[in-house]
Amino acid sequence: MLVKNVKEARGIITAMGRVGVLLLNLGGPDKLEDVGPFLYNLFSDPEIIRLPFSWLQKPLAWFIATRRTSQSQENYRKIGGGSPLRSITEQQGKALKERLNTLGRDANIYIGMRYWHPFTEEAITKITEENIKHLVILPLYPQFSISTSGSSFRLLEKLWQKNPKLQQMAYNAIPSWYKQSCYLQAMADLISQELDQLLNPNEAHIFFSAHGVPKSYVEEAGDPYQQEIEECTELIMLTLNRPNNYSLAYQSRVGPVEWLQPYTDDAIKDLGKKGVNTLVVVPISFVSEHIETLEEIDIEYREIAEKAGIHNFRRVPALNTHPLFIQALANLVIESLEPSSLTFTQINQMKKKVKIYPPERWEWGITISAEVWNGRIAMLGFIALIVEMITGHGLLHIVGILQ
Ligand SMILES: C=CC1=C(C)c2cc3[nH]c(cc4nc(cc5[nH]c(cc1n2)c(C)c5CCC(=O)O)C(CCC(=O)O)=C4C)c(C)c3C=C
Ligand SMILES: [Fe+2]
Ligand SMILES: [Fe+2]
Protein backbone atom coordinates (compact mmCIF):
# COMPACT_ATOMS: atom_id res chain seq x y z
CA MET A 1 0.00 0.00 0.00
CA LEU A 2 1.39 3.45 -0.92
CA VAL A 3 0.43 6.86 0.44
CA LYS A 4 -1.83 8.45 -2.20
CA ASN A 5 -2.00 12.06 -1.06
CA VAL A 6 -0.87 14.55 1.57
CA LYS A 7 -4.14 14.17 3.52
CA GLU A 8 -3.69 10.43 3.74
CA ALA A 9 -0.04 10.88 4.72
CA ARG A 10 -1.04 13.32 7.49
CA GLY A 11 -3.59 10.77 8.69
CA ILE A 12 -0.91 8.11 8.92
CA ILE A 13 1.42 10.41 10.83
CA THR A 14 -1.36 11.30 13.29
CA ALA A 15 -2.16 7.62 13.73
CA MET A 16 1.52 6.94 14.33
CA GLY A 17 1.92 9.78 16.85
CA ARG A 18 4.76 12.26 16.99
CA VAL A 19 7.54 11.63 14.46
CA GLY A 20 11.21 12.30 15.19
CA VAL A 21 14.19 12.29 12.85
CA LEU A 22 17.55 11.54 14.42
CA LEU A 23 20.42 12.81 12.26
CA LEU A 24 23.61 10.95 13.16
CA ASN A 25 27.03 12.42 12.58
CA LEU A 26 30.58 12.17 13.83
CA GLY A 27 30.95 15.55 15.54
CA GLY A 28 34.00 17.75 15.71
CA PRO A 29 35.71 20.01 18.26
CA ASP A 30 34.03 23.44 18.45
CA LYS A 31 37.22 25.10 19.71
CA LEU A 32 40.91 24.25 20.14
CA GLU A 33 40.51 23.20 23.82
CA ASP A 34 37.98 20.58 22.70
CA VAL A 35 40.46 18.79 20.40
CA GLY A 36 42.05 16.61 23.14
CA PRO A 37 38.77 15.40 24.71
CA PHE A 38 37.25 14.91 21.22
CA LEU A 39 40.19 12.72 20.17
CA TYR A 40 39.93 10.81 23.46
CA ASN A 41 36.26 10.04 22.74
CA LEU A 42 37.11 8.98 19.18
CA PHE A 43 39.93 6.63 20.16
CA SER A 44 37.85 5.22 23.06
CA ASP A 45 35.51 3.74 20.45
CA PRO A 46 36.22 0.04 19.83
CA GLU A 47 34.85 0.54 16.27
CA ILE A 48 37.92 2.77 15.68
CA ILE A 49 40.55 0.83 17.65
CA ARG A 50 39.72 -2.54 19.15
CA LEU A 51 41.87 -4.06 21.87
CA PRO A 52 41.98 -7.57 23.32
CA PHE A 53 41.19 -6.28 26.82
CA SER A 54 38.49 -3.67 27.21
CA TRP A 55 40.25 -2.22 30.28
CA LEU A 56 43.08 -1.13 27.94
CA GLN A 57 40.76 0.93 25.69
CA LYS A 58 40.56 4.06 27.83
CA PRO A 59 44.26 4.27 28.82
CA LEU A 60 45.29 3.76 25.17
CA ALA A 61 42.72 6.33 23.98
CA TRP A 62 44.09 8.82 26.51
CA PHE A 63 47.66 8.05 25.43
CA ILE A 64 47.01 8.44 21.68
CA ALA A 65 44.80 11.50 22.14
CA THR A 66 47.41 13.22 24.32
CA ARG A 67 50.17 12.56 21.82
CA ARG A 68 48.08 13.58 18.79
CA THR A 69 46.42 16.69 20.19
CA SER A 70 48.94 19.40 19.30
CA GLN A 71 49.25 18.40 15.61
CA SER A 72 45.50 18.06 15.33
CA GLN A 73 45.01 21.46 17.04
CA GLU A 74 47.42 22.96 14.50
CA ASN A 75 45.16 21.66 11.70
CA TYR A 76 42.00 22.98 13.36
CA ARG A 77 43.74 26.35 13.86
CA LYS A 78 44.25 26.54 10.08
CA ILE A 79 40.49 26.23 9.51
CA GLY A 80 39.52 28.91 12.01
CA GLY A 81 40.04 27.21 15.39
CA GLY A 82 37.34 24.52 15.32
CA SER A 83 35.16 22.23 13.26
CA PRO A 84 32.20 23.73 11.37
CA LEU A 85 30.39 20.39 11.62
CA ARG A 86 27.97 21.28 14.41
CA SER A 87 26.77 24.49 12.86
CA ILE A 88 26.40 22.96 9.36
CA THR A 89 24.53 19.94 10.76
CA GLU A 90 22.19 22.29 12.65
CA GLN A 91 21.52 24.20 9.43
CA GLN A 92 20.84 20.90 7.64
CA GLY A 93 18.40 19.89 10.40
CA LYS A 94 16.57 23.21 10.17
CA ALA A 95 16.36 23.03 6.37
CA LEU A 96 15.08 19.44 6.57
CA LYS A 97 12.36 20.41 9.06
CA GLU A 98 11.23 23.25 6.78
CA ARG A 99 11.28 21.03 3.69
CA LEU A 100 9.25 18.32 5.44
CA ASN A 101 6.79 20.98 6.54
CA THR A 102 6.22 22.23 3.01
CA LEU A 103 5.58 18.60 2.04
CA GLY A 104 2.87 18.33 4.70
CA ARG A 105 4.92 16.47 7.31
CA ASP A 106 5.68 17.61 10.80
CA ALA A 107 8.69 16.09 12.50
CA ASN A 108 11.02 16.96 15.37
CA ILE A 109 14.65 16.90 14.24
CA TYR A 110 17.40 15.74 16.62
CA ILE A 111 21.16 15.76 16.10
CA GLY A 112 23.20 12.96 17.62
CA MET A 113 26.97 13.28 17.28
CA ARG A 114 29.16 10.28 18.05
CA TYR A 115 32.22 11.96 19.60
CA TRP A 116 31.27 15.56 20.46
CA HIS A 117 28.36 17.83 21.35
CA PRO A 118 25.46 17.44 20.90
CA PHE A 119 26.07 13.80 21.83
CA THR A 120 23.78 10.98 20.66
CA GLU A 121 22.97 10.26 24.31
CA GLU A 122 21.63 13.84 24.74
CA ALA A 123 19.47 13.50 21.62
CA ILE A 124 18.03 10.21 22.90
CA THR A 125 17.18 11.81 26.26
CA LYS A 126 15.27 14.58 24.43
CA ILE A 127 13.53 12.02 22.20
CA THR A 128 12.20 10.12 25.21
CA GLU A 129 11.20 13.35 27.01
CA GLU A 130 9.34 14.67 23.98
CA ASN A 131 7.31 11.50 23.67
CA ILE A 132 8.29 10.60 20.13
CA LYS A 133 6.26 7.64 18.88
CA HIS A 134 8.14 6.91 15.67
CA LEU A 135 11.79 7.64 15.05
CA VAL A 136 13.58 7.73 11.71
CA ILE A 137 17.30 7.15 12.27
CA LEU A 138 19.20 8.81 9.43
CA PRO A 139 23.02 8.80 9.43
CA LEU A 140 24.52 11.75 7.55
CA TYR A 141 26.92 9.36 5.83
CA PRO A 142 25.72 8.37 2.34
CA GLN A 143 27.71 5.11 2.46
CA PHE A 144 27.76 2.66 5.34
CA SER A 145 30.96 1.92 7.25
CA ILE A 146 31.50 -0.01 10.45
CA SER A 147 33.56 2.96 11.66
CA THR A 148 30.85 5.59 11.10
CA SER A 149 27.14 4.65 10.86
CA GLY A 150 28.00 1.22 12.31
CA SER A 151 29.55 2.79 15.38
CA SER A 152 26.53 5.05 15.94
CA PHE A 153 24.13 2.12 15.47
CA ARG A 154 26.13 0.11 17.98
CA LEU A 155 25.81 2.95 20.51
CA LEU A 156 22.07 3.22 19.87
CA GLU A 157 21.72 -0.50 20.41
CA LYS A 158 23.31 -0.12 23.87
CA LEU A 159 21.01 2.79 24.74
CA TRP A 160 17.98 0.78 23.58
CA GLN A 161 18.94 -2.19 25.73
CA LYS A 162 19.10 0.02 28.83
CA ASN A 163 15.87 1.95 28.29
CA PRO A 164 12.42 0.25 28.27
CA LYS A 165 10.82 3.52 27.08
CA LEU A 166 12.87 3.38 23.90
CA GLN A 167 11.79 -0.21 23.36
CA GLN A 168 8.18 1.01 23.12
CA MET A 169 9.03 3.35 20.26
CA ALA A 170 8.76 2.30 16.60
CA TYR A 171 11.76 3.18 14.51
CA ASN A 172 13.34 2.79 11.09
CA ALA A 173 17.10 2.99 10.62
CA ILE A 174 18.45 3.85 7.16
CA PRO A 175 21.86 2.15 6.87
CA SER A 176 22.99 3.97 3.69
CA TRP A 177 21.42 6.01 0.93
CA TYR A 178 24.04 6.78 -1.74
CA LYS A 179 21.62 5.67 -4.51
CA GLN A 180 19.03 8.33 -3.62
CA SER A 181 18.40 10.19 -6.89
CA CYS A 182 18.20 13.75 -5.46
CA TYR A 183 21.50 13.14 -3.65
CA LEU A 184 23.11 12.05 -6.93
CA GLN A 185 21.65 15.06 -8.74
CA ALA A 186 22.93 17.42 -6.03
CA MET A 187 26.45 15.97 -6.36
CA ALA A 188 26.29 16.20 -10.16
CA ASP A 189 25.06 19.79 -9.91
CA LEU A 190 27.97 20.85 -7.67
CA ILE A 191 30.50 19.16 -9.99
CA SER A 192 28.92 20.78 -13.07
CA GLN A 193 29.08 24.22 -11.43
CA GLU A 194 32.81 23.73 -10.83
CA LEU A 195 33.50 22.41 -14.34
CA ASP A 196 31.59 25.25 -15.96
CA GLN A 197 33.97 27.79 -14.44
CA LEU A 198 36.85 26.30 -16.45
CA LEU A 199 38.06 27.39 -19.87
CA ASN A 200 38.10 23.79 -21.13
CA PRO A 201 35.70 21.90 -18.87
CA ASN A 202 36.02 18.57 -20.70
CA GLU A 203 39.77 18.43 -20.13
CA ALA A 204 39.54 18.48 -16.34
CA HIS A 205 40.18 15.23 -14.49
CA ILE A 206 37.42 14.56 -11.95
CA PHE A 207 39.09 13.14 -8.85
CA PHE A 208 36.82 11.54 -6.24
CA SER A 209 38.43 11.48 -2.81
CA ALA A 210 36.71 9.28 -0.24
CA HIS A 211 37.61 9.01 3.43
CA GLY A 212 39.64 5.80 3.83
CA VAL A 213 39.19 2.92 6.27
CA PRO A 214 41.68 0.17 7.15
CA LYS A 215 41.68 -2.52 4.43
CA SER A 216 40.89 -5.21 7.03
CA TYR A 217 37.51 -3.60 7.72
CA VAL A 218 36.49 -4.47 4.16
CA GLU A 219 38.40 -7.70 3.60
CA GLU A 220 38.01 -9.32 7.00
CA ALA A 221 35.05 -7.69 8.69
CA GLY A 222 32.90 -7.41 5.57
CA ASP A 223 32.44 -3.64 5.70
CA PRO A 224 30.42 -2.75 2.53
CA TYR A 225 32.04 0.71 2.51
CA GLN A 226 34.43 0.28 -0.43
CA GLN A 227 31.80 -1.33 -2.66
CA GLU A 228 29.30 1.43 -1.81
CA ILE A 229 31.87 4.17 -2.47
CA GLU A 230 32.80 2.65 -5.84
CA GLU A 231 29.17 2.25 -6.89
CA CYS A 232 28.39 5.77 -5.69
CA THR A 233 31.20 7.20 -7.85
CA GLU A 234 29.83 5.38 -10.92
CA LEU A 235 26.29 6.61 -10.22
CA ILE A 236 27.45 10.22 -9.81
CA MET A 237 29.34 10.03 -13.14
CA LEU A 238 26.26 8.55 -14.86
CA THR A 239 24.10 11.35 -13.43
CA LEU A 240 26.67 13.98 -14.40
CA ASN A 241 26.74 12.67 -17.97
CA ARG A 242 29.93 14.48 -19.01
CA PRO A 243 32.87 13.10 -21.02
CA ASN A 244 35.58 13.82 -18.40
CA ASN A 245 38.14 11.27 -17.23
CA TYR A 246 37.73 10.38 -13.57
CA SER A 247 39.27 8.31 -10.81
CA LEU A 248 38.79 7.45 -7.13
CA ALA A 249 41.26 7.44 -4.23
CA TYR A 250 41.12 7.29 -0.40
CA GLN A 251 42.33 9.99 1.99
CA SER A 252 42.95 10.59 5.73
CA ARG A 253 44.91 7.45 6.57
CA VAL A 254 45.71 7.09 10.30
CA GLY A 255 47.94 4.51 12.00
CA PRO A 256 50.21 1.63 11.06
CA VAL A 257 47.90 -0.70 9.11
CA GLU A 258 47.18 -0.72 5.38
CA TRP A 259 44.13 1.37 4.41
CA LEU A 260 42.06 1.25 1.22
CA GLN A 261 44.15 2.12 -1.83
CA PRO A 262 45.04 4.05 -3.89
CA TYR A 263 45.92 6.72 -1.36
CA THR A 264 44.89 10.23 -2.41
CA ASP A 265 48.40 11.74 -2.13
CA ASP A 266 49.96 8.97 -4.29
CA ALA A 267 47.13 9.18 -6.85
CA ILE A 268 47.59 12.97 -7.20
CA LYS A 269 51.33 12.50 -7.82
CA ASP A 270 50.59 9.82 -10.45
CA LEU A 271 48.11 12.08 -12.25
CA GLY A 272 50.75 14.85 -12.25
CA LYS A 273 53.24 12.46 -13.85
CA LYS A 274 50.65 11.56 -16.48
CA GLY A 275 50.40 15.23 -17.44
CA VAL A 276 47.04 16.11 -15.88
CA ASN A 277 46.92 19.86 -15.45
CA THR A 278 43.42 20.50 -14.14
CA LEU A 279 42.04 18.53 -11.22
CA VAL A 280 38.51 18.86 -9.86
CA VAL A 281 38.49 17.14 -6.47
CA VAL A 282 35.15 15.75 -5.24
CA PRO A 283 34.87 14.74 -1.55
CA ILE A 284 32.29 11.94 -1.52
CA SER A 285 32.05 10.25 1.83
CA PHE A 286 30.88 13.21 3.82
CA VAL A 287 28.09 15.73 3.28
CA SER A 288 29.47 18.76 5.16
CA GLU A 289 32.62 20.81 5.13
CA HIS A 290 34.97 19.58 7.83
CA ILE A 291 38.65 19.34 8.63
CA GLU A 292 39.35 16.83 5.86
CA THR A 293 37.90 19.06 3.13
CA LEU A 294 39.04 22.43 4.49
CA GLU A 295 42.50 21.44 5.70
CA GLU A 296 43.52 18.11 4.17
CA ILE A 297 42.22 18.68 0.62
CA ASP A 298 42.32 22.46 0.37
CA ILE A 299 45.75 22.88 1.97
CA GLU A 300 47.74 19.59 2.06
CA TYR A 301 46.61 17.99 -1.23
CA ARG A 302 46.67 21.32 -3.06
CA GLU A 303 50.35 21.63 -2.12
CA ILE A 304 51.07 18.07 -3.30
CA ALA A 305 49.26 18.77 -6.59
CA GLU A 306 51.20 21.99 -7.11
CA LYS A 307 54.50 20.13 -6.63
CA ALA A 308 53.29 17.41 -9.04
CA GLY A 309 52.72 20.04 -11.75
CA ILE A 310 48.93 20.23 -11.40
CA HIS A 311 48.51 23.99 -11.36
CA ASN A 312 44.77 24.17 -11.72
CA PHE A 313 43.50 22.51 -8.54
CA ARG A 314 39.84 22.98 -7.67
CA ARG A 315 37.63 21.43 -5.02
CA VAL A 316 33.90 20.86 -5.29
CA PRO A 317 32.16 22.19 -2.15
CA ALA A 318 30.46 19.77 0.22
CA LEU A 319 26.67 19.46 -0.06
CA ASN A 320 25.93 21.39 3.18
CA THR A 321 22.38 22.74 2.61
CA HIS A 322 22.14 22.29 -1.17
CA PRO A 323 18.34 22.28 -1.83
CA LEU A 324 18.47 18.99 -3.76
CA PHE A 325 20.39 17.37 -0.93
CA ILE A 326 17.82 18.54 1.62
CA GLN A 327 15.14 17.17 -0.71
CA ALA A 328 17.04 13.85 -0.72
CA LEU A 329 16.95 13.75 3.10
CA ALA A 330 13.24 14.63 3.09
CA ASN A 331 12.53 11.84 0.57
CA LEU A 332 14.42 9.35 2.72
CA VAL A 333 12.37 10.30 5.77
CA ILE A 334 9.06 10.20 3.89
CA GLU A 335 9.85 6.87 2.21
CA SER A 336 10.77 5.29 5.51
CA LEU A 337 7.42 6.40 6.98
CA GLU A 338 5.40 4.92 4.12
CA PRO A 339 3.15 2.04 5.11
CA SER A 340 5.04 -0.18 2.66
CA SER A 341 8.18 0.18 4.79
CA LEU A 342 6.25 0.33 8.03
CA THR A 343 4.10 -2.74 8.30
CA PHE A 344 2.64 -3.63 11.66
CA THR A 345 4.63 -6.85 11.68
CA GLN A 346 7.75 -4.78 11.19
CA ILE A 347 6.85 -2.41 14.02
CA ASN A 348 6.01 -5.30 16.31
CA GLN A 349 9.20 -7.08 15.38
CA MET A 350 11.15 -3.90 16.01
CA LYS A 351 9.53 -3.50 19.39
CA LYS A 352 10.53 -7.01 20.34
CA LYS A 353 14.04 -6.80 19.03
CA VAL A 354 16.63 -4.30 20.11
CA LYS A 355 18.74 -4.66 16.95
CA ILE A 356 18.42 -1.43 15.03
CA TYR A 357 20.22 -2.17 11.80
CA PRO A 358 19.45 -4.89 9.28
CA PRO A 359 21.54 -7.83 10.50
CA GLU A 360 22.06 -9.12 6.95
CA ARG A 361 24.08 -6.01 6.21
CA TRP A 362 26.67 -6.60 8.88
CA GLU A 363 26.48 -9.42 11.36
CA TRP A 364 27.62 -7.88 14.64
CA GLY A 365 28.85 -9.89 17.56
CA ILE A 366 30.23 -13.39 17.38
CA THR A 367 30.78 -14.24 13.73
CA ILE A 368 33.90 -15.62 12.12
CA SER A 369 34.65 -12.44 10.21
CA ALA A 370 34.07 -10.27 13.24
CA GLU A 371 36.37 -12.41 15.32
CA VAL A 372 39.13 -12.25 12.73
CA TRP A 373 38.65 -8.51 12.50
CA ASN A 374 38.54 -7.96 16.22
CA GLY A 375 41.55 -10.19 16.73
CA ARG A 376 43.69 -8.51 14.10
CA ILE A 377 42.92 -5.00 15.24
CA ALA A 378 43.34 -6.07 18.83
CA MET A 379 46.76 -7.57 18.24
CA LEU A 380 47.95 -4.58 16.24
CA GLY A 381 46.81 -2.11 18.82
CA PHE A 382 48.27 -4.13 21.63
CA ILE A 383 51.67 -4.69 19.98
CA ALA A 384 51.88 -1.04 18.96
CA LEU A 385 51.13 0.09 22.49
CA ILE A 386 53.72 -2.18 24.09
CA VAL A 387 56.43 -1.23 21.55
CA GLU A 388 55.68 2.46 21.97
CA MET A 389 55.67 2.26 25.75
CA ILE A 390 58.97 0.40 25.90
CA THR A 391 60.95 2.24 23.22
CA GLY A 392 59.16 5.56 23.03
CA HIS A 393 59.34 5.17 19.24
CA GLY A 394 56.70 2.63 18.42
CA LEU A 395 54.66 1.86 15.33
CA LEU A 396 52.07 4.51 16.05
CA HIS A 397 54.83 7.07 16.48
CA ILE A 398 56.56 6.11 13.24
CA VAL A 399 53.46 6.21 11.09
CA GLY A 400 52.09 9.40 12.55
CA ILE A 401 49.11 8.40 14.70
CA LEU A 402 51.19 9.92 17.48
CA GLN A 403 53.51 12.85 17.17
C1 LIG B 1 32.87 8.70 6.08
C2 LIG B 1 33.64 9.43 6.79
C3 LIG B 1 34.61 8.93 7.77
C4 LIG B 1 35.17 7.65 7.95
C5 LIG B 1 34.93 6.39 7.15
C6 LIG B 1 36.09 7.75 9.06
C7 LIG B 1 36.88 6.70 9.57
C8 LIG B 1 37.93 6.87 10.46
N9 LIG B 1 38.41 8.06 11.01
C10 LIG B 1 39.50 7.83 11.82
C11 LIG B 1 40.24 8.76 12.57
C12 LIG B 1 39.93 10.15 12.73
N13 LIG B 1 38.85 10.79 12.21
C14 LIG B 1 38.86 12.11 12.60
C15 LIG B 1 37.94 13.08 12.31
C16 LIG B 1 36.86 12.91 11.42
N17 LIG B 1 36.60 11.79 10.62
C18 LIG B 1 35.49 12.02 9.85
C19 LIG B 1 34.89 11.15 8.93
C20 LIG B 1 35.18 9.78 8.79
N21 LIG B 1 36.05 9.04 9.53
C22 LIG B 1 35.04 13.35 10.20
C23 LIG B 1 33.85 14.01 9.60
C24 LIG B 1 35.87 13.87 11.18
C25 LIG B 1 35.71 15.18 11.98
C26 LIG B 1 36.03 16.32 11.18
C27 LIG B 1 35.90 17.63 11.84
O28 LIG B 1 35.55 18.59 11.13
O29 LIG B 1 36.22 17.79 13.03
C30 LIG B 1 39.99 12.34 13.43
C31 LIG B 1 40.33 13.65 14.14
C32 LIG B 1 40.97 14.65 13.22
C33 LIG B 1 42.43 14.38 13.11
O34 LIG B 1 43.13 14.43 14.14
O35 LIG B 1 42.86 14.05 12.00
C36 LIG B 1 40.68 11.12 13.51
C37 LIG B 1 41.94 10.84 14.28
C38 LIG B 1 39.73 6.42 11.78
C39 LIG B 1 40.86 5.74 12.56
C40 LIG B 1 38.75 5.83 10.95
C41 LIG B 1 38.53 4.43 10.60
C42 LIG B 1 38.82 3.40 11.35
FE1 LIG C 1 42.60 13.66 8.74
FE1 LIG D 1 37.69 10.02 10.59
DSSP 318-364: P-TT-HHHHHHHHHHHHHHHSTTT--HHHHHHHHH----S-TTT---
**Range in 40-44, 153-157, 183-187, 255-259 the model is least confident about:** 255-259
* 401 is a domain residue: no
- Do 18 and 165 lie in a common domain? yes
Does residue 319 carry a pLDDT above 70?
yes
Same domain for 29 and 122, yes or no, is yes
Residues 267 and 138 in one domain: no
Q: What is the pLDDT of residues 70-108, one digit of tens each?
A: 999 999 999 999 999 999 999 999 999 999 999 999 999
In the chain, % of residues over pLDDT 70: 80
> Do 39 and 99 fall into the same domain?
yes
User: Are residues 172 and 58 part of one domain?
Assistant: yes
What is the tens place of the pLDDT at every residue in 31-66?
999 999 999 999 999 999 877 889 999 999 999 999
Q: Averaged over 302-328, what is the pLDDT?
A: 98
Instruction: State the residue range of the domain holding 287.
Output: 181-315
Whole-number pLDDT of residue 65: 97
Same domain, 188 and 330: no
Among protein residues, the one whose CA lies closest to atom 11 of ligand 1:
254
Q: Is the pTM of this model over 0.90?
A: no
Q: What is the pLDDT of residue 16?
A: 62
Q: For residue 186, how far is the Cα from the chain centroid?
A: 17
The domain spanning residue 66 has which CATH number? 3.40.50.1400
Q: Does 361 score more than 80 pLDDT?
A: no
Residue 356 has pLDDT above 60, yes or no: no
pLDDT at position 89 = 98
Ligand 1 atom nearest residue 28's Cα? 29
Q: What is the chain's mean pLDDT, rounded?
A: 86
Which helix (H) or strand (E) segment holds residue 72: the answer is helix 54-78
Least confident residue range of 196-200, 232-236, 365-369: 365-369
Ligand-binding annotation for 211, yes or no, is yes
What mean pLDDT comes out for the span 109-137?
A: 97
- Overall domain count for the chain: 2
**How confident is residue 341, by pLDDT bands cut at 50, 70 and 90?**
low
Measured CA to CA, the distance from residue 134 to residue 96 in angstroms comes to 17
Question: Which protein residue's CA is at the shortest distance from atom 20 of ligand 1?
Answer: 211
Residue 292 lies in a domain: yes
Q: How far is the CA of 164 from the centre of ligand 3 (A)?
A: 32
Task: Indicate the helix (H) or strand (E) that contains 113.
Answer: strand 108-113
| Domain assignment of residue 194, yes or no | yes
- Has 205 been labeled as part of a binding site? no
- Please report whether residue 386 resides in a domain: no
Say which ligand is closest to the CA of 211: 1
Backbone φ, ψ for residue 147 (5° rounding): -80, -10
